[in-house]
Amino acid sequence: MSEEQTQSTAERIKQERQNAVQPEPFLKAAGAVKDTGDEQKLAFTDSFAERVAGHIEDLRTEAIGVTDIAQLFGAPESEVLEKDHDYTAWRAYNTVYNWPSEGALVFDVATDRALREIESAWDDVPTNQRFMIAQSLRSFQDWCLFCDGTIDFNNTPVQSCCSDRQVITLYCADCDRRFLEFRMEEDQGVDMSS
């Protein structure tokens, strides 16, 4: 039995709280993001953008599998299952996570791999926070790392990938991959400081 399996949920949550990081200083110290000095504030470092793009390239020929999701969420493979939805969704432990496109999932797995290579402490960051950081980083593409196209906001409300809710989106204007959704009512925006 693996260590994770013998841990109770309460123990896991407690440990996760203790290991929470401040995303911005953590990512800067790892060399993943840098200050830009303009209103955009933060961007990928060139070397990190290259690393992520390299993993995205690898993932063109590899299907995302249980191993990738288990690694992303720090869960044993037995606790990971692909959900049978018409959008991209996986369960890790008792939580179902969804992505606004297969590309968004590929991006998260690529980011996870890239951060793992440069920062050993990434593996200790709590699972939910890791997912949140990966989501935030989807907005850091200066151009689409899949097709070199233009990343854009669509301010016209559209239906969410994964519910009846109306959302505005961050997407690639060229390949149409949707990377993020923002709720209309209460802004669930990307907040690197929380």
Contact footprint for Zn ion (CB under 5 A): 144, 146-147, 149, 172, 174-175
Q: For the chain, give me the number of helices (H) and strands (E)?
A: 7, 8
Please give the DSSP secondary-structure letter assigned to residue 100: S
- Residue 20 CA to residue 5 CA, distance in Å, equals 21
Closest to Zn ion by CB, 150 or 163: 150
Closest to Zn ion by CB, 124 or 174: 174
Angle, alpha carbons 137-142-148 (nearest 5°): 110
Asked whether the CA dihedral 59, 107, 148, 159 is positive or negative, the reply is positive
List 95's β-bridge partners, or say none: 92
Q: Please state the closest distance from residue 149 (CB atom) to Zn ion, in A.
A: 4
Q: Please state the closest distance from residue 142 (CB atom) to Zn ion, in A.
A: 12
Q: Please state the closest distance from residue 59 (CB atom) to Zn ion, in A.
A: 14
Q: Please state the closest distance from residue 63 (CB atom) to Zn ion, in A.
A: 19
Closest to Zn ion by CB, 26 or 146: 146
Closest to Zn ion by CB, 130 or 178: 178
Helix, strand, coil percentages (3-state) for the chain, rounded to 5, are: 40, 20, 35
- Residue 47 CA to residue 143 CA, distance in Å, equals 15
Q: Please state the closest distance from residue 171 (CB atom) to Zn ion, in A.
A: 8
Closest to Zn ion by CB, 101 or 127: 101
Q: Dmax over Cα atoms in the chain, in whole Å?
A: 50
